[in-house]
Amino acid sequence: MEKEVTSQFKEKPKTKLGKWSVGLNAIFLIVIAVSLVLVLVLKTLSFDDRWWDVTVPVAFLIVMIAFVTGIIAVRKNKERSAWVYVSIVTGVCAILFALLHSLFIHD
């Protein structure tokens, strides 16, 4: 008889912090996607406009809050949802992008 292999990862987050992390990450991704569509596809806005100067810090703040709540959910509350880990990886990517952009790209 074969033993059934079960993954430690769950589909949906079970903790409140895990749900907040995934929700905030979804908001971040939606804001960035809508912004890119408005600029690159519909050409109704430009990256040089003031709206971009407001959107980027707000989106970065949202993804940082999602990152921190995701780490707390995993470490303190033992959250095992794959979506929380995706939220943490997205936060790490945003941090790396901000650091590398400021180091190597001079506007």
Does residue 11 lie within any of the structural domains? no
Domain count of the chain?
Answer: 1
Q: Which residue has the higher pLDDT, 30 or 1?
A: 30
- 16-68 pLDDT, tens digit per residue, is 999 999 999 999 999 999 999 999 999 998 988 898 889 999 999 999 999 99
For 33, the domain range is 16-102
Are residues 78 and 14 in contact, defined by beta-carbon separation less than 8 angstroms?
no
Note the pTM of the prediction, 2 decimals: 0.84
Please state the φ and ψ torsions of residue 78, each to the nearest 5 degrees.
60, 40
CA–CA gap between residue 23 and residue 18 (Å, rounded): 9
Does residue 35 lie within any of the structural domains? yes
Does residue 8 lie within any of the structural domains? no
The pLDDT of residue 9 is: 65
Does residue 71 lie within any of the structural domains? yes
The pLDDT of residue 102 is: 79
Mean pLDDT, the chain, as a whole number? 90
Please state the φ and ψ torsions of residue 34, each to the nearest 5 degrees.
-65, -40
Are residues 66 and 28 in contact, defined by beta-carbon separation less than 8 angstroms?
yes
